[in-house]
Structure 1
Amino acid sequence: MSQNKFEQALAVGRPPNVVKNFPNSNALLVSGKVVDRACLAKGKCMSIAANGRNIFVIEGTLRAAQKANAAVIIEIARSESTYCPTTMWNIARRVDYLCNKLGITVPVAIHADHYFIKKWEDVAEAKEEIPSVFDTGITSIAIDASHMPDDDNLLANLELAPVIPSWAGYETEIGEIKGKFGLSTPVEAKFLIQGLNAFGHCPDWIALNNGTTHGIEASGEGIQVGLTAEIHDALKAYGTSGAQHGTSGNDSTRLKEIAAQTHTTKANVATALQMISWGVKVNDFGNAIMTEDGRFDKVEGKGLSEELWAEMTGWADEQGITGGNYKKLNLPFERRWQGQSAPVRERMVQAVEAFVYDLLVNVFNAKDTADIAYDLIIEAGSHDLGPKAERIEEPSEWTEEKIRARAKAMDTDKGPEGDWDD
């Protein structure tokens, strides 16, 4: 890494909201577009979008990124903001603090993931709230109206796209995490991206239901690589990359195939990082390993102290919290984790660092994407890399009436309700 290139990128690469919030910072917080473009430029590459549910996950990911010289994304979902100490409104502040503390020089995007729209009435609230998260330093967002009908999904995105800064990373979605049911199709993906293109909106990523499962236990067939590649190829003219949700539950071989054979540049990782920070055993799928009595298998001397782990599990039992809902322990217990001895805190961070470094270098092929990102920023001379594609579609063909008629003619299966967080 060239220190000179970092300094050049730092001078022009931070978006205006980042400069306003952190005027004296040396953290290179960038648009999500920068990470996407760096992965595309390297080829057969995706980078991590680590759900920073707690401060230890964020620190471990940043240290791994620096070691791998990789541009990365730190994110939090809208729903996670209700049960984690990290929220959409403080995540940029947490990342900026750690970057300056640790001397992190790689580019880092700050992503508000799964900004969900459950019903049309939510759009008005979203139009007011979305600018507020950008006011705090967010540099990228995912609009997730995927559980609504296809026409409402597109119309919601069209309503909300204007309140997303043009320089920011923008993700849209057509499928929640729900395994083998309601798999996404090229037809519905193209419908959404074409409709946005008609009005000059170019999402950087699209998230699919491509067979992935969520969280704790492996089930179903996992990510459908061929289906993913087919959908991405159908969108090539529109410049939209893939965002892979639910990587926990898929082994490294499958994730390598996603990086090598599709146009995926963003890979969400949440549950695995949380469990690893606590010292829970995980397999190559990133799934927590359970004991015979159905409890998480905590490794003695790893992650949390044994005494604090016992306190956590006892509290969870009292509250009736089991399995994947252990994620709800982040908010009530992060203060207790930070109160542990320095060696225990360090081993929590180191465990995440080792896991993320292996993903970035040996699975995602993201090593040295930081240098590519510097060059992109310096070449643009700006924090804004612009859209990846020009307008192709004719707006008159995408009126609300025609959108609803097109959607009605499509045969799609949304499947059962999915999960929002991984």
Structure 2
Amino acid sequence: MSQDTFKKALAVGRPPNVVQNFPGSQALLVSGKVIDRAMTAKGGAMTIAANGRNIFIIEGALKAAQRANAAIIIEIARSEATYCPTTLWNIARRIDYLCNKLGITIPVAVHADHYFMKKWDDVAVAKAEIPSLFETGVTSIAIDASHMTDDLNLLANIEVSPSIPSWAGYETEIGEIKGAFGLSSPLEAKFLCQGLNAHGLCPDWIALNNGTTHGIEASGEGIQVELTADIHKALEPYGTSGAQHGTSGNDSDRLRAIAAQTATTKANVATALQMIGWGVKVNDFGNAIMDGDHFAKVPGEGVDDALWDEMVAYADANNIKGGDYKKLNLVFERRWQGQSQAVQQRMAQGVEEFVYDLLVNVFNAQDTAPIAYDLILEAGSYDLGLKKEKFEDAAEWTEEKIKAMAAEIDTDKGPAGDFDD
């Protein structure tokens, strides 16, 4: 990509909140809409939404995308902000800093993932808080009201929509992520997107419970490709792409099938990147390998071996096991940054190699950055507008009618419980 094209895209492609926060920046932080449409335009492609739990993950993912010439998303979930140094309010700042430091020129969306509302009382909090995320430079958000009933999920999305800039990337969700339990259906998905369309809303992505889990996929079941394709087929009139949650540890062939056979353009990867950055031994799909009751560490890779021993001792002393090792990010990032430059670089390098392989050899995202540039320049703006305009009748989607229609939807939501975001 020529420097001239990059400069032109930089001049018009950064949303106003990005310009305001980073006025002298040379980082092309863009709306999530740009990333989604670049993947759609290439066809059979999805990009990584890398959960930047620590700064080394963000650095490695950005370097990988630059090598692959791929447009990407860096994200953090609302729940992750409680146990990670990266939060919904500093993630844009971290990404912008690293893009400028490293000379990153590919387009990057800054995504606030899983902004959850588990009960109706949470809606008022969301309406008050979401604007503050965009004030810090976030360019995309996932509204997750999937914990509520279908009617309240739809009504919550409608209620908070004025808090989201019209130019921003917008993800919605049905079905909590419960593995093989409570699988999503085309009926549920269409109900949500149809009702949103009636209110002039067009989600760029929808996340489903299509058989996966958060953390490392160890069941052998994983993502159900055919189910996902059926749901996306039902949503074609509404223009909504798929967001694949719980990607870590899934078989690469299954992920290739998701990219090739469905409308998925966004694949969330969190746990695998964390483990690889630390130097934990993983298989080809990012599944961590155990050594007895602890994760197996590759000597001389990732964090300093002596510091890893401290991390394990801290985890043991605080009864932190398995997936809860994620809670070490907040406690130890300062220590990781205090290591030698060589050790810090190998932490980021491990992430870079893994993400590069995903982007190029699994997700088919290579060379999507120029497509994103073209979309920005064709629009002459940071705002690409809706993929599908309103065509449903709002009079048929009042609160009363939404509740009545939802009562007729007979689907299995799976077991009750507080499922992790």
- Interval of TM-score (by shorter of Structure 1 and Structure 2): over 0.9
Check whether the contact 1:92–1:110 (CA below 8 A) recurs between aligned residues: yes
- The letter for the 2-side match of 1:272 is A
SS of the counterpart of 1:74? strand
- The letter for the 2-side match of 1:342 is Q
- The letter for the 1-side match of 2:401 is K
Distance 2:18 2:167 in 1: 12
Q: Which residue of 2 aligns with 1:385?
A: 384
Q: Which residue of 2 aligns with 1:278?
A: 278
Which runs of structure 1 show a deviation greater than 3 angstroms over 4 or more consecutive aligned residues?
417-421
Q: Which residue of 1 aligns with 2:237?
A: 237
Q: Alpha carbons of 1:207 and 1:418: their partners in 2 closer, same or farther (altered >3 Å)?
A: farther
Q: Does 1:49 align with 2:39?
A: no
SS of the counterpart of 1:385? coil
* Cα-to-partner distance string for 1:164-198 (whole Å, 9 max, x where unaligned): 00000000000222110000000000000011000
Q: Which residue of 1 aligns with 2:23?
A: 23
* Cα-to-partner distance string for 1:114-135 (whole Å, 9 max, x where unaligned): 0000100000000000000000
Distance 2:44 2:420 in 1: 26
SS of the counterpart of 1:134? helix
* Cα-to-partner distance string for 1:284-340 (whole Å, 9 max, x where unaligned): 23211111x221010001001111000001001111100000000000100000000
Q: Which residue of 2 aligns with 1:200?
A: 200
SS of the counterpart of 1:316? helix
Q: Alpha carbons of 1:360 and 1:276: their partners in 2 closer, same or farther (altered >3 Å)?
A: same
Q: Which residue of 1 aligns with 2:313?
A: 314
Check whether the contact 1:64–1:354 (CA below 8 A) recurs between aligned residues: yes
Deviation at 1:282, TM superposition (A): 1.2
Q: Which residue of 1 aligns with 2:348?
A: 349
Q: Which residue of 2 aligns with 1:298?
A: 297
Q: Which residue of 2 aligns with 1:142?
A: 142
Aligned pairs, number = 420
Deviation at 1:249, TM superposition (A): 2.8
Q: Which residue of 2 aligns with 1:126?
A: 126
Deviation at 1:101, TM superposition (A): 0.2
Distance 1:418 1:358 in 2: 34
Distance 1:418 1:258 in 2: 27
Q: Which residue of 2 aligns with 1:366?
A: 365
Distance 2:62 2:361 in 1: 17
* Cα-to-partner distance string for 1:385-413 (whole Å, 9 max, x where unaligned): 00000112100100111100100000111
Q: Which residue of 2 aligns with 1:262?
A: 262
Distance 2:379 2:130 in 1: 27
- The letter for the 1-side match of 2:329 is N
Distance 2:64 2:230 in 1: 32
SS of the counterpart of 1:114? strand
- The letter for the 2-side match of 1:187 is L
Deviation at 1:220, TM superposition (A): 5.0
Check whether the contact 1:281–1:288 (CA below 8 A) recurs between aligned residues: yes
Q: Which residue of 1 aligns with 2:401?
A: 402
Identity %: 76
SS of the counterpart of 2:25? coil
* Cα-to-partner distance string for 1:43-89 (whole Å, 9 max, x where unaligned): 00000000000000000000000000000000000000111000000
Distance 2:300 2:167 in 1: 45
Q: Does 1:287 align with 2:287?
A: yes
- The letter for the 2-side match of 1:370 is A
Distance 1:294 1:181 in 2: 27
> 175-184 or 350-359, which moves further after superposition?
175-184
SS of the counterpart of 2:295? coil
Q: Does 1:332 align with 2:324?
A: no
Distance 2:229 2:318 in 1: 43
Provide structure 1 residue ranges, at least 5 long, that are not aligned to the other structure: none
Check whether the contact 1:177–1:418 (CA below 8 A) recurs between aligned residues: no
Check whether the contact 2:214–2:420 (CA below 8 A) recurs between aligned residues: no
Q: Which residue of 1 aligns with 2:99?
A: 99
Q: Which residue of 2 aligns with 1:85?
A: 85
Distance 1:129 1:213 in 2: 28
* Cα-to-partner distance string for 1:363-402 (whole Å, 9 max, x where unaligned): 0000010000000000000000000001121001001111
Q: Alpha carbons of 1:419 and 1:63: their partners in 2 closer, same or farther (altered >3 Å)?
A: farther
Check whether the contact 1:217–1:288 (CA below 8 A) recurs between aligned residues: no
Check whether the contact 2:198–2:393 (CA below 8 A) recurs between aligned residues: yes
- The letter for the 2-side match of 1:297 is A
Check whether the contact 2:217–2:250 (CA below 8 A) recurs between aligned residues: no
Distance 2:187 2:70 in 1: 34
Provide structure 2 residue ranges, at least 5 long, that are not aligned to the other structure: none
Distance 1:73 1:269 in 2: 10
Check whether the contact 1:13–1:377 (CA below 8 A) recurs between aligned residues: yes
Q: Does 1:60 align with 2:60?
A: yes
Deviation at 1:418, TM superposition (A): 6.4
SS of the counterpart of 2:258? helix
Q: Which residue of 1 aligns with 2:163?
A: 163
